[in-house]
Chains A and B, each alone.
Chain A
Amino acid sequence: MLEVKSLSKSFDGFKAVNNANLDVQKGEIVAVIGPNGAGKTTLFNLITGILKPDSGTVHFKGENITGFPPYEICRKRISRSFQIVNIFPRLTVFENVQVSILSREKRTWNLFTPSTKLAIDETNRILESVGLVQKKDRMTALLSHGDSKVLEIAMALGGNPEFLILDEPTAGMAPEETFRCIELVKRLSEELGLTILFCEHDMEIVFGIADRIMVMVRGATIVQGSCDEVRCNEAVQNAYLGGSDVCLM
């Protein structure tokens, strides 16, 4: 479904992503792992159009979407959540999700119908499914960190995606929140048939829910395969699971 070929991006000579390759099949959950600074977030930014790659291609459902602006990518039904909480702090929880839906329905050019009458049911349904419906009238600036991260996912769902990218969905969450969040991700995959690409530091979570894993070190893909393949791969063990991330070269 998503195919990334030899994607590269450098900042002032520093190669943040260097020849990354990735393919994701429909319905899969794929994890990207790698040490801090390996370029995971940059890779996601390249796929979703926030950054433009220096070279390489991104294909989605056979279509070349390399270098498309983010709003075009979103219309291809790719949604994402961010590592650092990235929401609209001055809007309510409800409005955050509602804007996302209105945008997908291309109603944001509507100047005169009150928003309060639009997309109510769908917004409520999404909030219900992620468990935020009780807090829907709160200003999002007042939400807890865990709730904000869940809201991120809810906003991504507002775009009615086929393909969901989650950048460290459980970062900074309390253990119990983490558990709930992982359950949510699993459910989304099973109930809605979403294809999910995510990155995560917690190996237990990764091996628990991922169908396949891609390992990145210093911007490059060193291997992509099933959990067992990755677990047994020597280069990965050296670079990552062995705990030292310097001896790869």
Chain B
Amino acid sequence: MVQSRMRGKAQLYVYAGIVVLFVLPLILPRFYIYLTSIILLTGLLATSLNLVLGYGGIFQFHHAVFYGVGAYATALMLTKSGLSPWLSFIVGPLVSGFLSFIMGLICIRLSKLYFGMLQISLGSLVWIIVYRWYSFTGGDDGIHGVPLPDIISSPNSAYYFTLIVTAACLFVTYKMIRSPFGSALQGIRDNPVRSEMIGINVKRHQLLALIIAGFFAGVAGSLFIVVDNTVFPDMLFWTLSLEVLIMCLLGGWFTFLGPMLGAAIIIMLRTFVSTYTTYWALVLGVLMMFVIFFLPNGVLGYIEEKIKKDFIEPVIKE
């Protein structure tokens, strides 16, 4: 009962947040709208990673590959094919999901660190191909000025498009985590051996989770095209993967909205710090160390613990 009351309150905050996000373009200047769009889609990327990392316990070290591949697939279809532009926003994520399926099939036999390393290896392979294949992907120049359908080409409409798609994806992800599949996934995270012994086919559940995560990362990649009109190979370099990992950790990787919060903190901080100094990496590194030492469950995880302490413990004592 206490939990449902807490959940009800959290829901209220989320609805309020969505309303605020909807009226934001009326008050904020253009640059901040662009920034908020980036936060939203990066938050979606981090949330999709957290589905397999925090809820699935899979060491997905190279998640950015699916983000980058989704973006490239969308951009290439928009620039090189005469098909409906809307189709490319579906094809991009599908390509990512398919890649995730293939890479998952290869990696899934390994566990933990070995899984992560093999994935980085495969991901680096994809990165090299994108980086070197000038004639097709534009190499290290990337692709610029991707043509968009008129209706989402202005900053504000791009923002609304991003907001709606992100909200929808988060809603679906949340549903999944609360579903029997989500319960099984969390069970696998906590104890794979036990999960097998209660009849769960661990590898197959993990594979499905990987595909879903890859798909949503691809959605985030497509959204980046909408917001920024460009794509470049750094989007699937491994350092970005670790940055997204940091977002999950900073926000709280056992909470649903933690990764989104982490993305918001990091992107805002970067924008803010970069106006003063070029040593953003230094700031981020030091921040990370503090988080690992003092907030191992992340910001939202810490808040949640706090609330639980104030809320639940008195009830138990009664």
Q: Quick check: do A and B touch in the complex, using CB within 8 A?
A: yes
Contacts of B202 in A (CB 8 A): 71
Residue among A82, A99, A109 with max Cβ neighbours from chain B (10 Å)? A99
Residue of B179, B190, B197 near A74 (CB, 8 A) is B197
Whether B176 is near chain A, meaning CB under 8 Å from some CB there, is yes
Q: Is A207 interfacial (CB-CB < 8 Å)?
A: no
Q: Say yes or no for A155: interface residue by CB 8 A criterion.
A: yes
Q: Which of A2-54 contact B (CB under 8 A)?
A: 48-50
Q: Is the CB of A99 within 8 A of B198?
A: yes
Interface residues of A (CB under 8 A from B): 48-50, 69-71, 74-75, 79-80, 82, 86-91, 95-96, 98-100, 102-104, 107-116, 118, 137, 155-156, 158-159
The reply to whether B178 and A115 form a contact with Cβ atoms under 8 Å apart is yes
- Residue among A50, A74, A86, A109 with the highest chain B CB neighbour number at 10 A: A109
Docked CA distance A88–B249 (Å): 21
Asked whether B197 lies within 8 Å of A80 as measured between CB atoms, the reply is yes
How does the 8 Å CB contact mask read for B178-204 relative to A, with 1 for contact and 0 for none?
A: 111111101101110111111111100
Contacts of B200 in A (CB 8 A): 71, 99, 103, 108
- Is B179 within 8 A of A90, CB to CB? no
Most chain A CB neighbours (cut-off 10 Å) among B178, B181, B199, B202: B199
Inter-subunit contact A115/B198 (CB<8 Å): no
- Chain B interface residues toward A at CB < 8 A: 3, 175-176, 178-184, 186-187, 189-191, 193-202, 205, 208, 254
Chain B neighbourhood of A88, CB < 8 A: 186-187, 190-191, 194
B180 and A107 within 8 A (CB): yes
Contact flag A99-B183 (CB < 8 Å), given A69-B196, A74-B197, A108-B205: yes
**Known pairs A71-B199, A95-B183, A111-B181; A90 contacts B176 (CB<8 A):** no
Please indicate the chain A residues that have their CB under 8 angstroms from the CB of B189 in the complex.
90
A70 and B183 contact, CB distance less than 8 A: no
Q: How far is the CB of B180 from chain A (nearest CB, A)?
A: 4
Query: Which residues of A are found within 8 Å of B178, using beta-carbon distances?
Result: 114-116
Answer whether A90 and B180 are a contact pair too, CB < 8 Å, given A71-B202, A79-B198: no
Q: Is the CB of B191 within 8 A of A115?
A: no
Query: Which residues from B are CB-within-8-Å of A98?
Result: 183
Q: A118 contacts B180, CB within 8 Å?
A: yes
Known: A69-B196, A102-B180, A115-B180. 11 other contacts (CB 8 A): A49-B196, A70-B193, A74-B198, A86-B191, A89-B190, A100-B199, A110-B180, A110-B181, A111-B179, A112-B175, A113-B179
CB atoms of A113 and B201 under 8 A apart: no
- Given A89-B190, A90-B254, A114-B178, A137 and B3 touching (CB < 8 A)? yes
A228 to chain B, nearest CB (A): 34
Contact of B180 among A75, A82, A113 (CB under 8 A): A113
Given contacts A71-B200, A75-B199, A108-B184, whether A82 and B194 have CB atoms under 8 Å apart is: yes
Q: Which residues of B contact A75 (CB under 8 A)?
A: 199
CB distance from A18 to the nearest CB of B (A): 24
In the bound assembly, the distance between CA atoms of A116 and B254 in angstroms comes to 19
Shortest distance from the beta carbon of A11 to any chain B beta carbon, whole Å? 17
- The interface residues of chain B lying within 8 Å CB-to-CB of A113 are 179-180
CB distance from B318 to the nearest CB of A (A): 14
Cα separation A156 to B194 with both chains bound (whole Å): 10
Q: What residues of chain A lie closer than 8 Å to B190, measured between beta carbons?
A: 87-91
CB pair A112 B198 closer than 8 Å: no
Find the B residue at minimum CB distance from A137: B3
CB distance from B183 to the nearest CB of A (A): 5
Contact residues in B for A137 (Cβ distance below 8 Å): 3
21 contacts across the A-B interface (CB closer than 8 A): A48-B197, A71-B196, A71-B201, A71-B202, A89-B190, A90-B186, A90-B189, A90-B190, A96-B187, A98-B183, A99-B198, A99-B200, A100-B198, A102-B183, A108-B200, A110-B181, A113-B180, A114-B175, A114-B179, A115-B178, A115-B180
A75 to B183, CA, bound (A): 19
Give Cα distance in the complex from A48 to B194, angstroms.
11
In the complex, residue of chain B having the shortest beta-carbon distance to the beta carbon of A89: B190
Closest chain A residue, CB of each to CB of B3: A137
B47 shortest CB reach to chain A, Å:
16
B residues near A102, Cβ cutoff 8 Å: 180, 183-184
Chain A residues contacting B180 (CB-CB under 8 Å) are 99, 102, 107-110, 113, 115, 118
Among A69, A80, A111, A114, the one with the most B-chain Cβ atoms within 10 Å of its Cβ is: A111
B181's partner among A109, A156, A158 (CB-CB below 8 A) is A109
A116 to B175 Cα, complex, angstroms: 11
| Nearest B residue to A158, CB-CB | B198
A114–B183 CA distance with the chains assembled, in angstroms: 10
Partner pick for B183 among A79, A89, A91, A156, CB 8 A cutoff: A91
Interface centre among A79, A114, A116 (most CB of B within 10 A): A114
